[in-house]
A and B are shown apart, each in its own frame.
Chain A
Amino acid sequence: MTEPEGKTKKSKDSILTTGFAFLVLFPMMYLMLPTVIFLFLSMLPTLVALVIDSNSKTRFKYKWLCIGGLNFAGSLPYLFRLWFGNNTWDGAVGLFLGGGAFLIIYLTALVGWVFYRCIPSVVLSFLEMSDQRRVVHLREAQAKLIAKWGEEVASGVDVRVGHMAALKTKQAPSVQGEAKKP
């Protein structure tokens, strides 16, 4: 099969999928219109974050997930009130604008953004501390090996980067235990 033919088939498949989804979702959206309108208004910060994430060149695209999680958590009590109250188009808009609901919902989205900004730094600091402690422990183990076997034990040590991935998953056994005679 030639390349243009492949591309044409792919685009045809995509149109079919989109068309089918539209056929299924459109009636559902029509039936749940108040919910859709409410969620659209409530989740606006998440949508903005998603757009920003999609356009940014950063490696980790977790901003919209952090904001989205808490944004959704903030929307849920009002969504329940909508479902079990005036579940109409007007009711949805009124619920969002009245009583400062939108303020609370957007505040939760702001908390999500704060999570996004703070938690990675905390985790990184914690990880660094842990790494340093492990390195000190490993160096002590090496010193013990040298004390027991002499400098020869360190001869020919060749650190290979390819082993690092394996080391991540493998837990190091006790140095003392292995060096001892049975």
Chain B
Amino acid sequence: MTETKTETKQTQSSASLDSYVTRKEQFALVRGKYRVYSGLPVPMLDMPNAKAFQAEDVTAPDHKIFALVCKPDLPIRKDHIKARNGLKVDGLLPLVDAGTAFWQPISRKTMILLYEMPLGGRVVQSKTYGKILPEEEAEKISKWVRPLLVGISNLAVRGLTHRAIRPDNLFYMDAEKTKVVWGDCIAAPPGYDQPSAFETIETSMCQAAGKGNGTTADDLYAFGATLICLGIGYNPVESLSDTELLELKIYKGSYAALIGEERVPLALIELFRGLLADNINQRWDISSTQLWADGRRLTPVQAKTVRTSQRPFLFNNVEFFTYRTLAYAFAKNWDMAADVIRSEKLLAWIEHGFDDKETADAIRKSIDMALVRFSTKEKQDDFFVARTCMLLDPSAPLRIRNCAFLPDALGTMLAINVNDDKKTKMLIGLIATGYLESWYEFHQDMVSEQNIKNMQITLQKPGKGMGIERLLYDLNEGLPCQSPLVVKDYVDEARDLLPALEEVAKKANPKTEPIDRHIAAFIAVRFGSKVLEQISWLNSPKENVAIQGMLNIFAALQRTFGPDHLYAMCSWIGGMVVPVIDSYHNLEKRQQLEKNLPKIIRKGNFSELCAFLDDRQERLYDLSYFEQAKKEYARLSEEIEFLDGNREKREQEGLMLGNQVAAVVSFGIAVLTMFLLLITRLLRG
């Protein structure tokens, strides 16, 4: 019996070993040296929008790493990769490397982030985790507050924000669980996965993609909220919905909303009040928090009293006493708000309740502006309700009906909604019709206002390399090219474009256009100003100029990034160059080009193809000799017309000439006769 059990165990263990070996055979290779095993997930390290898998550095097998496989349709934070790649930044999970690879489970390429393995695992593994912060204050500060603050500080000095600071994104780097670090913040847009508890009132009002990079102050707020959770042992507002929590924060303030009835160690109250201050000017910054950690006790933050009206404003059967609460209510009941704002009641309340004539005048001006700018009532309402919300609560996000985002997150909003035409059109409308300008106007941010004006100019240009696609790549540094041709290849850098198109060319329909609007905009943004002129050629109504533009762009890309040979692409585009050949006037030259074209195409080099099709000297010769030939042809035609066109006139001229000849002959004979007679007479003497 014992033997049988042992055999069974042996059989099971050998089967699982086989299965493990089989799963290890399936891997994706990142940057040529990291194997990421798609069959070996590590659910313990999963992020909400990125699954974790076992990974191995082929060049250093002892280096313990894991991989986070990003969702290809979510824009990642490329600025973090650039700043942190290969560096060990204190307080943060070290990012070893990042690169794209084909990921079998989703049958497309995606971004894979390689992190050092946190040997102690995740700090928080379930919703109720018990008090994690030690009771002793010194240990609390040295083991938790300081290292985590260092992480935030290290990002701040690099001009970055984390925006994924929450208890379940904390890891123990060592097996002894002494060193704690913040986890990944790259795989998703800033604040995308953050629950409302860890977001400020302003960002809580935004939709997930609309929170923006924010500032270090947002990270410090989340840090405060995280410390509360770690101190209490659970999230005290877990049971509340996002809306309930937001309303609670608005009415009570963040500190009161989060702490609630919980008992917090006395020493930490000051820290929490400082970090959770809703007024950004009152919130502790890194140095204040550092000072607190060093033992300097600062003056406790007293929440600034919000201006309130003595008289209530009744809206939707609720009495409001402050601007922010009313603005929030307007944003929630958009259509009702329009009618209320149009009426004089609101303006009277503002003027009498707050003695704030300035805001009242600004609202009147907004209504006038809406009437001038928009023709339909719905659009007029949208515009002045949005502006009124901005005026009443300037730090709140831009709100328009169901959409709310901070203008900082415009790029992310565009990226997330790139395949949703309706939402994309709405975002274009917000840029083009002055909503974003208004938001920056109320923040007196002239630079950003000018940027929006530049965006409007870009949107007005309909050609390739401009329009909404240009903004999409301008505002999202890490967004891969969204062209249907290469979207599955996750082309996030210009150098990856040609290899991806080479693969496309092997299967593509010969008539497919190789540079669509997305590819043109992607090249314009990621390849810089080197090919801007050629991109403008793409919009030429002359087919040959557009094709020459395309050839020159590919040639420049190939010269800069390689590869040396692009056989399939050259063959694909070689089939489209007929208009370029036909742009030569000389038929012999055309025949010569057509004859030699296959040879050049077989070389797979766009520079050679360009030089072959568009020799500057040959072009000049062709043009100048063609002009000469045209003139010559016209001259010949005129002469033919002269000789053959009007015979009557020509006959008249012939007759006149004949008469003149006859007269000359006649008088010639007379002169000759006289001469002969004179000679004869002289000879006779």
Contacts and interface: CB of A to CB of B under 8 A. Distances in A.
Interface of A: 59-60, 62, 65-70, 72-73, 76-77, 80, 84, 112, 115-116, 118-124, 127-128, 131-132, 134-135, 138-139, 141-142, 145-150, 152-160, 163-164, 167-168, 172, 175, 178-179, 181
A63 to B, nearest CB: 8
Interface residues of B, number: 49
B670 to A, nearest CB: 4
A148 to B, nearest CB: 6
B626 A149 contact: yes
Given A69-B663, A131-B650, A150-B587, A163 B643 contact: no
A134 B677 contact: no
A124 B638 contact: no
Interface stretch (B144-152, B447-455, B604-612, B651-659): B651-659
Contacts of A153: 585, 626, 629-630, 633
B291 interface: no
A139 B639 CA distance: 10
Contacts of B651: 124
B638 A159 contact: yes
Given A73-B673, A76-B674, A135-B640, A112 B632 contact: no
Interface of B: 585-588, 621, 625-626, 628-630, 632-645, 650-663, 665-670, 672-674, 677, 681
Contacts of B659: 60, 62, 66, 116, 119-120
A70 B663 CA distance: 9
A2 B645 CA distance: 48
B636 A73 contact: no
Given A119-B662, A153-B633, A147 B677 contact: no
B655 A120 contact: yes
Given A124-B655, A138-B639, A80 B666 contact: no
A178 B633 CA distance: 11
Contacts of A127: 650, 653-654, 657
Contact of A178 (B628, B637, B660, B673): B628
Contacts of A121: 658
Given A80-B681, A175-B632, A120 B661 contact: yes
Given A149-B586, A179-B628, A77 B640 contact: no
A84 B587 CA distance: 80
A72 B663 contact: no
Contacts of A181: 621, 625
B585 A60 contact: no
A65 B666 contact: yes
A96 B118 CA distance: 146
Contacts of B668: 69
A65 B667 contact: yes
16 contacts: A59-B656, A66-B665, A80-B677, A84-B681, A124-B654, A127-B657, A132-B644, A138-B639, A142-B640, A149-B626, A155-B630, A159-B634, A172-B636, A178-B632, A179-B628, A181-B625
Given A138-B639, A149-B630, 5 more contacts: A65-B663, A68-B666, A73-B669, A142-B637, A164-B641
A72 B663 CA distance: 13
Given A69-B670, A167-B639, A157 B634 contact: yes
A142 B662 contact: no
The A interface is mostly helix, strand or loop, or mixed, namely helix
Contacts of A77: 673, 677
Nearest to A126: B654
A135 B643 contact: yes
B654 A148 contact: no
Given A80-B677, A145-B632, A179 B625 contact: yes
Nearest to A174: B632
B585 to A, nearest CB: 5
Contacts of B681: 80, 84
Given A68-B666, A70-B666, A148 B629 contact: yes
A163 B631 CA distance: 13
A134 B650 CA distance: 14
A181 B622 CA distance: 9
Nearest to A120: B658
A82 B198 CA distance: 143
B56 to A, nearest CB: 65
Given A59-B656, A122-B658, A181-B621, A154 B666 contact: no
Contact of A148 (B588, B637, B656, B669): B588
Contacts of B674: 73, 76
A150 B585 contact: yes
A60 B655 contact: yes
B638 A160 contact: yes
